[in-house]
Amino acid sequence: MPNDHAPLSDSSLNGAEAKRLKVILSQPRGFCAGVVRAIEIVERALRKYGPPVYVRHEIVHNRHVVERLKAKGAHFVENLDDIPEGAVTIFSAHGVPRAVVDEAVARDLPVLDATCPLVTKVHNEARRYVARGRTLILIGHAGHPEVEGTMGQVTDPVHLVQTETDVELLDLPSDAPVAYVTQTTLSIDDTRGIIAALQRRFSDIVGPDTRDICYATQNRQTAVRELSTLVDVILVVGAKNSSNSNRLREIGEEAGIPAYLIADGSELDARWLSGAATVGITAGASAPEVLVEDVIAALRRIGSVEVSTLPGREENLEFRLPTALADVG
């Protein structure tokens, strides 16, 4: 697992008194329905077709998940060129550009699409807006695979904006017919500001409001905002390349609470807890609960820990699996 910090050791705790820590778990946290479905697709594909199966990009942005699937026989590649003829091919939860779908069809690769249905919904919106003659503006983070997938849904140029300043710099006339869509895992507040800037800048603009931000992102952000009123420090369990995990950390910081994104307990730094009595923990949508437990175990090596969980919102959403895998137990 990636580890930017020295692991906790006796020496790292020298001088620290035995602590009593209250730990409050955010709710909901961790896996969302899209991540559960994507992992299930790889596991069922391995059971049905046998290893190896090939996954384009990390199935979800979590090293622990990827390593576990690797051990079962999944191969992770960035390009379809790295997939042998006829091999079972899985697209990750983040979605892919049309060119990748076309390439897979041209090569006759048997594809299972683990793109989250909420990302597919954004793809469909993007295509619909462009088909109606609108110039597409995507609110999202450059380089993220979901953004590349959404930009690659249409052949017309797509304008990517990440900030309100980017909106001012757009090289488009103010009366151009435009439409916007957003990445699913953005900050609700930032996105609201960018949409307001777009609406000020363009007279003929349509878009889905903030509804492209998925339910899981919204629920985890709302919960971490509540958590930040109760704790001295926030630990976000998630990968450095996980967009929704980064947003959770930012929300903690915006609330004035020191917040750290860590992959697991080995990245916990005891110095972050100096002077802290209450620690909040949340987890990004691609982080399994076992990693939250690993962080709690690391806290227990620092002192006594009493764990409670915020009531939070219950999530019951489940996405249907591809038909080809429905019969696999």
Q: Catalytic positions, please? A: 146
Q: Strand, coil or helix: what is 257?
A: coil
Identify the CA nearest to 137 among candidates 204, 221, 215, 218: 204
| CA distances for 102 relative to 45, 147, 230, 279, angstroms | 22, 18, 50, 48
Min separation Cβ 155 and ligand SF4, Å:
24
Q: Strand, coil or helix: what is 263?
A: coil
Min separation Cβ 213 and ligand SF4, Å:
8
Q: Are 251 and 266 contacting, i.e. CB atoms less than 8 angstroms apart?
A: no
Comparison of 12 and 120: residue with beta carbon closer to ligand SF4? 120
Comparison of 134 and 247: residue with beta carbon closer to ligand SF4? 247
Q: Are 130 and 107 contacting, i.e. CB atoms less than 8 angstroms apart?
A: no
Comparison of 48 and 121: residue with beta carbon closer to ligand SF4? 121
Sign of the CA dihedral running 60, 64, 69, 73: positive
Helix (H) or strand (E) holding 234: strand 233-237
DSSP alpha helices (H): ranges in the chain? 33-49, 63-72, 98-106, 117-131, 145-151, 164-169, 188-201, 215-227, 243-254, 289-300
How is 4-66 classified by DSSP, letter by letter? -SPPP-TGGGTTPPPEEEEEEE-SS-S--HHHHHHHHHHHHHHHHH-S-EEEES-SSS-HHHH
Residue nearest to ligand SF4 (CB): 34
Min separation Cβ 34 and ligand SF4, Å:
3
Comparison of 46 and 248: residue with beta carbon closer to ligand SF4? 248
Rg, Å, the chain Cα set: 21
The number of angstroms, rounded, from the C-alpha of 41 to the middle of its chain's C-alpha atoms is 18
Min separation Cβ 243 and ligand SF4, Å:
8
Identify the CA nearest to 60 among candidates 77, 38, 33: 38
Residues contributing to the site for ligand SF4 (CB under 6 A) = 32-35, 93, 116, 118-119, 184-185, 214, 216-217, 244, 285
Comparison of 135 and 182: residue with beta carbon closer to ligand SF4? 182
Min separation Cβ 9 and ligand SF4, Å:
35
Comparison of 115 and 228: residue with beta carbon closer to ligand SF4? 115
